[in-house]
Amino acid sequence: MTIPQTVLHNSVGFGGMNRPEDVRMVQCLLNAVPAQRGGPLPLLDVDGMCGPLTTGAVRKFQLQNAPVADGRIDPGQATETALLAILDSLGKLAALIGQAGAAVPQVPGQPTAPGQAGAESTVRKTFVQKARSMLPPYPQLTPGTKPSVGTNCYAFPAQVFGALPVIAQGKPGAFSIKVETLTFYLDKPTIWWEKVALKIDEVHAPARPCWVPFGPGRSPLPGDIYVLHMLDRPAEFQHVGVVLSVSADGWETGDSGQGNGGQTGLRKRKVDAAGVIDGEFTKKARVRGWADLDSIYSVAWASFPPMV
295 lies in which domain range? 122-303
Beta strand pairing status for 225-230 and 182-185? unpaired
Cα–Cα dist 96/203, whole Å: 19
What are the DSSP calls for 90-154, one per residue? TT-HHHHHTTTT---SSSTTS-------STT-HHHHHHHHHHHHTSPSTT-B---PPPSSS--TT
Side-chain half-sphere CA neighbours of 181 within 13 A: 0
Regarding whether 146 and 82 lie in a shared domain, the answer is no
- pLDDT score, position 109: 54
Q: Does 113 map to a domain?
A: no
Regarding whether 152 and 233 lie in a shared domain, the answer is yes
pLDDT mean across residues, the chain: 90
- pLDDT score, position 47: 86
> How confident is residue 96, by pLDDT bands cut at 50, 70 and 90?
confident
For residue 97, pLDDT over 90 is answered with no
How many structural domains comprise the chain? 2
For residue 102, pLDDT over 80 is answered with no
Q: Does 1 map to a domain?
A: no
- pLDDT score, position 100: 30
Cα–Cα dist 123/152, whole Å: 25
Q: Does 154 map to a domain?
A: yes
- 186-199 per-position pLDDT tens digit: 999 999 999 999 99
For residue 39, pLDDT over 80 is answered with yes
Regarding whether 217 and 87 lie in a shared domain, the answer is no
Q: Does 114 map to a domain?
A: no
Number of other residues whose CB lies within 10 A of the CB of residue 234: 11
Regarding whether 289 and 205 lie in a shared domain, the answer is yes
Least confident range of 9-23, 78-92, 214-228? 9-23
Cα–Cα dist 123/110, whole Å: 14
Cα–Cα dist 240/236, whole Å: 12
Q: Does 208 map to a domain?
A: yes
State what percent of residues in the chain have pLDDT above 90: 70
Regarding whether 140 and 63 lie in a shared domain, the answer is no
> How confident is residue 113, by pLDDT bands cut at 50, 70 and 90?
low
Regarding whether 190 and 58 lie in a shared domain, the answer is no
Q: Does 102 map to a domain?
A: no
What are the DSSP calls for 217-232, one per residue? T----TT-EEEEEESS
pTM equals: 0.69
Average pLDDT in the 125-140 region? 96
Regarding whether 290 and 145 lie in a shared domain, the answer is yes
H or E segment to which residue 200 belongs: helix 193-204
Number of other residues whose CB lies within 10 A of the CB of residue 237: 18
Stronger pLDDT, 285 or 149, i.e. the higher one: 285
> How confident is residue 111, by pLDDT bands cut at 50, 70 and 90?
low
- pLDDT score, position 107: 39
Sign of the four-CA dihedral 24, 42, 200, 238: negative
Cα–Cα dist 266/250, whole Å: 13
